[in-house]
Structure 1
Amino acid sequence: MVKTNPYSCFMQSWTWADFKELQGYKTWRYGLFCGQDSNLERTFDNLVGGCIFYLYPQLGGANILLAAGGAILSPEWAALGMPLLLEAAEQLAYEYSVSFNTSIITLRIEPLWESKPQWLPADFVRSPADLMPTNTLLIDMQLTPDQLLSQMQPKGRYNLRLSWRYGVTTEFRQDDAAIALFYDLFWETSQRQNFFGEPFGFFINLCQTLFPENMAEIAIASWQGETLAAILVIYWGDRCTYLYGGRSVKHPHVMASYAIHWEAMQRAKARGCKIYDFYGFTTEPNHPYFQFSRFKQQFGGVIAKTIGAHDYVFYDRLADTIIGLLEKL
């Protein structure tokens, strides 16, 4: 149910939660099951929704309970299921706050919904910050290769064909040596483009958790024995998501970045994916990721927009936090 839900997200997978625990997060994993009997056997056959809650503990201060990519709910059960998950989150917040002398004051959900459903409680308000991009670029993997080429921008199509002419090759790997190759290019790119780059240990934990489940791969593009580009993609349900990448400044004329994404799309299609998600897109010229977006746009596709993060404040916990702060003055 979780994989097949049209609004499913890899961040709501069991494996991703295992990875986040290695990063210091606490996770709570809830399922909603339909049936008349309270002793009903809980199986995937009667799973109708659920949510994985994440918390990065800030002891002694205010905390936010995160539902990155969630909640996941079957449409026919959503109106009943969301209040149950909200009740579970509020009880979780209370018990954790009491046990660890801290305070969880807010639940922040970040589903992939394209519009705010009527059944979502009105107390959910737009969050001041998003963890995930609200705009992304999606490529339809149900198209044939010729159709994919025809819907690309002319410049993108030309550059891709240049990479073929030069003989750029791409391989897909799931080994520790590939992580190191990927990270060298990722870090080089982050320093050159002046954006935040996660440490090497982050990718070690990510890959060593997701690789055994065949949930991620690293693609490496090379030309004449030199590694020129590398990307990390996540497979979940019918979607392949390009999550991280890096490229060398060497030999830009061979267009390795075009070759690697084209091959990643063909790989995703062969695995049964229907969507290639570029994970983040902007049309604003002053946005720091505008140049990345211009590159992505060369592959065509459609822009998808989600409602963004929404917060539900636990006012009792917030009041306790404020009182505690005042007592310390």
Structure 2
Amino acid sequence: MARRPSVSFALRELDAAQWSAELAAQPTAHLLQQAEWGQLKAQFGWQPQRIAIYNQHGFCAGAQVLWRSQYGLRVAYVPRGPIWSADQAANRLLLQSLERLARKRWAAFLRLEPNLLDAGTPDQLHSELLLAGYEPSSSMQPSASIHLQLEPELAALQAQASKGHRADVRRAERQGVTIRVGTTEADLDQFYAIMQATSQRAKFGIHSREYYAQAWRLFGGDQPDGAARLLIAEREGRVIGSFLVFAQGAEAQYMYSGTNEEGLKFAASHALQWAAITWAKQRGCTLYDFWGIPEAFLALETTTDPAERERLEQAAQATGMAGVYRFKKGWGGQPVRYLPAYDRVFLRPAYWLWQRRRSE
């Protein structure tokens, strides 16, 4: 029997430009693994590091790790990653390399958040991570979302939306709502004012203006072909809503949005969402991620037991997100659940302390 040729691997640390060049050939690499995201987080308390595994054919696995010191502890975090290989030996080497780095820097733990759905093929990865000493944990990113497949033509995508959503898009247009692309600092000011108004009305926290501005700039929002798009809804010369969305590789993300009272009245969010979906489709994306729904709504989609449905409906209503869920679901996408986060714990008492302080 012929011997199987051995495969040699090399571990390299990459700078932002090198990492971007490698991920350009990885269309399913998530936005949060892009170099620009690491550069954004570097301005707000995190330190990015990018490591890659190579074989004789080139790049085969890697991870952008975000490091942070908080509560007197250091943590290592891989959001929506790593970039996995079809070669399990490369994946094992990547995990070993991440763990060595975390131990060397005295991290309390290393957290991975695979960009994989909790269905079918990830079972093997789940088992291998458990055998390697990882334990399932709560994700820092949304654990459930709604995904809209963008392969159909725009007319077909519009037809997939609910009757009410289609009517609201038409109503917004009929009542004078227009959508334009924001390109200036003044547009960012208007976006942030809308975010502040939405935060006060809906009682949720928002980032600083500079955070949104840096995200917009780093992902090329000021360029016609940039991966960020600032969309602004106006009526009679007044800004009534705004979205900041992203589209990189095969996926688009609906991440930051808001409307004021006038925007609610005239369905600005529906007009903005359709403009965002259209933009993502035209960029060649095949998936539009609505960026998060409460788990209770996902469970409702698959539960038939009456008593369990009643319990879940009460839990879903208690989140205060029923309207947001209906808005996201009404575009015709499918609810999905991601694999959980996986923590490799190195300093157990420090890990417990971090978890307790995060929950306070």
TM-score w.r.t. the length of structure 2 is 0.78
CA distance in 1, matches of 2:350, 2:266: 60
Q: Give ranges in structure 1 of 5+ residues lacking alignment.
A: 36-44, 98-103, 323-329
Aligned residues: 301
8 Å contact 1:163–1:256 — kept in the other structure?
yes
Q: Structure 1, residues 76-115: CA drift from partner, whole Å, max 9, x if none?
A: 22x2222222222222123223xxxxxx121111112113
1:124 aligns with 2:156: no
CA distance in 1, matches of 2:105, 2:344: 17
Query: 2:116 aligned with 1:113, yes or no?
Result: yes
Residues 3 and 236 of structure 1 are in contact (CA less than 8 Å); yes or no, is this contact kept in structure 2?
Answer: no
Paired letter, 2:243: I
Gaps spanning 5+ residues in structure 2: where? 1-21, 298-315, 353-360
CA distance in 2, matches of 1:321, 1:192: 36
Q: Residues 300 and 275 from structure 1, CA distance in 2 versus in 1: closer, same or farther, beyond 3 angstroms?
A: same
Distance of 1:50 and 1:321 partners within structure 2: 25
Counterpart in the other structure of 1:24: 45
Looking at structure 2, the residues matched to 190 and 160 of structure 1 have their Cα atoms a distance apart, in angstroms, of 24
Task: Report the counterpart of residue 48 of structure 1 in structure 2.
Answer: 60
Deviation at 1:221, TM superposition (A): 0.8
Cα offset, 1:251, TM superposition: 5.3
After superposition, the Cα gap between the structure-2 partners of 1:279 and 1:286, relative to the gap in structure 1 and judged at 3 Å, is same
- Asked if residue 175 in structure 1 is aligned to residue 202 in structure 2, the reply is no
- Change in CA separation of 1:289 and 1:260 when aligned onto 2, cut-off 3 Å: same
Structure 2 counterpart of 1:298, from 330, 346, 350: 330
> CA RMSD of the aligned region, Å?
2.2
1:89 aligns with 2:135: no
Q: Which runs of 4+ in 1 moved over 6 A?
A: 319-322
CA shift at 1:199, angstroms? 1.5
Q: 1:17, 1:320 → 2: CA distance?
A: 25
Of the structure 1 ranges 271-280 and 85-94, higher mean CA displacement relative to structure 2 is found in 85-94
In percent, how many aligned pairs have the same letter? 25
User: Distance in 2 between the 1:244 and 1:27 partners?
Assistant: 23
Question: Which digits, 9 at most, give the CA deviation of each residue in 1:264-318, with x for residues without a partner?
Answer: 111111111112211112312222433211111221111121112111112xx44
Q: Aligned with 1:205: secondary structure?
A: helix
- Within 2, Cα distance between the matches of 1:168 and 1:320? 52
- Partners of 1:251 and 1:239 lie apart in 2 by 27
| Kept after mapping to 2: 8 A contact 1:31/1:51 | yes
Which of 148, 152, 166 is equivalent to 1:157? 166
The answer to whether 1:34 aligns with 2:55 is yes
Tell me, yes or no, if structure 1 residue 289 matches structure 2 residue 321: yes
Deviation track 1:48-86 (CA, whole Å, cap 9, x = no partner) reads 110011112137x33321000101113x22x22222222
Counterpart of 1:312 in structure 2: which amino acid? R
Q: Is it true that 1:271 corresponds to 2:283 in the alignment?
A: yes
1:280 corresponds in structure 2 to 292
**1:9 aligned residue:** 30
Deviates more, 1:144-153 or 1:256-265: 144-153
